[in-house]
Each structure stands twice: as structure tokens, then as C-alpha cells.
Amino acid sequence: MGRAGAAAAAVSLSRLTRVFGTQPAIVGVDLSVQRGSVVLLRGPNGAGKSTLLRVIATALAPTYGGGSVLGFDLVRERDQVRRRTELLGHHTRLYEDLTAVENLRFACALYGADVRVVAEALERVGLAEVGGERVTGFSHGMRQRLALARGLLRGPELLLLDEPYAGLDAAAKTMVDQVVLAARTAGHTVVLATHEPVREGLVTATVSMEAGRVLREPATVPEPVR
């Protein structure tokens, strides 16, 4: 595991600020997320939750401040962070003209994952029967599930979920919960941003954000899964 294994915190941010033009999206965020925890990010629209998740995923660089993810520096070692992190955001990042299987195989090629896990990933999200169909005919919920399957291909140590329940039916929401629980059971870390109520016992800590600032630090000791 090396350095990644040695680091106690999955995410450690110090005075992190991200500015778009002249508009600050997150300001002076200090945050520590312990390994194996499931942290819920709460806050109104525009609080900076999505920006924070994208900075942790290294999709955005911090304007000021910095931090580490799984023991790797957010800026200088972003490839190491990316190898171990999966961000499921507002966009599904799927190619409409490709089939579900082709989308996942392409992801395997980019991430160096074994293509033999594709069938299992589709099975887990209930899309095994439509694996050969093009994504262009998929509903929003099916696309979300396929994006979730892509996130499962390589078992990321840190899973970042931005509004994962949006537009999903009850069965698909339960599927998301199962993925989160499975990640936690495997000792992986999940940071989840949602406006919707979450299942009891799913999260181990809550972080509230408002106007780009973190209002409360998460609990440091994960609770056992019930």
C-alpha cells in the first residue's frame, strides 16, 4: 500500500480555496475525512459541494491552499490520486453511440482494469440484459446506473458521489446504497453530496457547507455498518 496505506486520512484539506474568475466557490476549507468512513456533504445549492468534490477528484485545481488525498498531494501527484478515486457527478460521461459494454470496455482501457469485470459490473447494477444496446436509447436512470457500474470497475479507494440519487427510482436508489455499503465494508471511503434523505446507518459523519465554507467537521471514528 505504501504511502497511500500509511496515510491516516483519506482526505486532508487545508485552507483550500477555489475561485472562478472573481467568484469564490469554496473558501478556506479545512477538512479531514478518515479512511473507511462514509461522509455526507449537506448544504443548499451554491454551497460549494460539487466544487469541493471536483477539487478532491483533481478535476479542478485549488486556487489557494492544498491538501492530500489518500496520502498523495492534490496538485503534484494528481495521477496517483486519479488512479484511486472515482467521481460520479452531474454528467454520466457516457458515449451515446456506444453500447453499455463498449462504454465500460473503453473505461477499462483507460484505467487499466480487467475487461472480465465488465459483465459483473453490469450485473450488479441490473443492466446485464441491455449490455449490447446503445446508450442513446437508455433512460436517465439507466445511464446513472451504467455510470455507477463504470465506477465499480476498478474498486476505487475513494468514491465521490455528487447527487447520486437524482432522477432514480426506489430500486436504483437502493442499488446506490448497496454500492456505498459495499465500499465501506471493503474499507474504502465514500464522500456523498445529496439533498435527499439518506438511509439510516449509511453515513458515518456529516459535513455541512454554506456559501463555500465548511460549517462542521466530520466525526473521526466510523460507526459499524448496521
Partner 1 sequence: MNGARLQHRSRVRGARRLGSWLLRVVQSRQRYTTGAVLAIAAKDLRIEARGRYAAGMAVPFAATLLIAFGLSLGPGRTLLEATAPGLLWLAVLFAATLLARRAWESEAEDGALEGLVLAPVDKSAVFAGKAIALSVQLLALEVAVLAMVAVLFGLPVAGNPPVLAAALVLGTVGLAGISSLFGVLAVMPRSREAVLPLLVMPLATPALIAGVKATALATAGRGGDAGAWLGLLAAFDLVLAAAGLLVFEQLVED
- Positions in the binding site for partner 1 (CB under 8 A): 57-61, 79, 82-83, 87, 89-98, 102, 106-107, 109-112, 134
Residue number with CB closer to partner 1 (108 or 198): 108
Task: Please report, as a single letter, which amino acid is at residue 23.
Answer: Q
Nearest distance from residue 150's CB to partner 1, in Å?
9
Nearest distance from residue 138's CB to partner 1, in Å?
11
How far apart CA 49 and CA 51 sit, in angstroms, is: 5
CA dihedral 81, 69, 62, 204 (to 10 degrees): 130
How far apart CA 117 and CA 138 sit, in angstroms, is: 21
Nearest distance from residue 25's CB to partner 1, in Å?
12
Nearest distance from residue 81's CB to partner 1, in Å?
9
Residue number with CB closer to partner 1 (72 or 165): 72
Residue 72's DSSP bridge partners are: 69
Nearest distance from residue 79's CB to partner 1, in Å?
5
Residue number with CB closer to partner 1 (1 or 110): 110
Spatial CB neighbours of 208, under 8 Å, sequence gap ≥ 6: 42, 43, 214, 215, 216
Residue number with CB closer to partner 1 (96 or 120): 96
How many other CB atoms sit within 10 Å of the CB of residue 173? 17
Give me 92's grid cell.
Answer: 454520466
Residue number with CB closer to partner 1 (79 or 200): 79
